[in-house]
């Protein structure tokens, strides 16, 4: 068989094999189930947060604190950050809430800004509500000695 024929016949045979196997592909099910691609699945519901449990211990240095209250329906977008209505430096004392760390007011060059740094504005990138959910996988992780 010459080289030109090999470049055309081999791919055609492969495509023919895929066409024969294609009917089996109907038996596969995606993670989204039988839901059509133009519809979004309902979001998975995480167990309700543990409410008002106070400040929780951290397992490693620089671990972001957990959020000890519900944040469902909190508005955080480019114009509004509802977290700052309690945790911003202006209102924290009157709301009896922890203040946002001064590090959240620094830009990437270490300069202190008059408002929250854009890279720290979306709180849920790092902070998550605490919950009583069991771990998804077993872990042998141990906190650093100084945090025990």
114 marked as binding residue? no
2 vs 1, residue with greater confidence: 2
83 marked as binding residue? yes
21 lies in some domain: no
The partner residues of 106 in beta bridges, in order of sequence, read 112
Helix, strand and coil percent figures for the chain, each rounded to 5: 30, 5, 60
Mean pLDDT of 5-33: 63
Domain coverage including residue 79: 47-133
Q: Which range (19-23, 27-31, 82-86, 108-112) has the least confidence?
A: 19-23
Question: On the CB side of 90, how many CA atoms lie within 13 Å of its CA?
Answer: 6
115 marked as binding residue? no
Mean pLDDT of 73-79: 90
User: Sign of the C-alpha dihedral, residues 83, 74, 70, 85?
Assistant: positive
Segments in 22-136 forming alpha helices (H): 84-87, 92-95
86 marked as binding residue? yes
51 lies in some domain: yes
The CATH number of the domain where 76 resides is what? 1.10.1130.10
Does the pTM of the predicted model rise above 0.75? no
Per-residue model confidence as pLDDT tens digits over 81-130: 999 999 999 999 999 999 999 999 999 999 999 999 999 999 999 998 88
pLDDT of residue 117: 93
pLDDT of residue 95: 92
Count of the separate structural domains present in the chain:
1
123 marked as binding residue? yes
104 marked as binding residue? yes
Mean pLDDT of 21-48: 67
40 lies in some domain: no
- The share of the chain scoring above pLDDT 90, in percent, equals 32
16 lies in some domain: no
13 vs 125, residue with greater confidence: 125
Mean pLDDT of 135-148: 77
């Amino acid at each position: 068989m010459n080289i030109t024929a090999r470049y055309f016949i081999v791919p055609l045979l492969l495509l023919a094999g895929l066409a024969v196997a294609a009917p089996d592909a109907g038996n596969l099910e995606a993670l989204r189930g039988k839901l059509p691609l133009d519809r979004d699945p309902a979001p998975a519901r995480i167990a309700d947060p543990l409410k008002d449990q106070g400040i929780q211990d951290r397992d490693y240095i620089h671990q972001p604190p957990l959020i000890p209250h519900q944040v469902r329906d909190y508005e955080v977008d480019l114009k509004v950050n509802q977290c700052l209505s309690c945790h911003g430096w202006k209102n924290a004392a009157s709301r009896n809430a922890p203040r946002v760390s001064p590090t959240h007011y620094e830009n990437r060059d270490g300069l202190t800004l008059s408002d929250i740094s854009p890279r720290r504005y979306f709180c849920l990138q790092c902070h998550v509500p605490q919950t009583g959910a069991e771990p998804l996988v077993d872990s042998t992780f141990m906190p650093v000695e100084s945090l025990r």
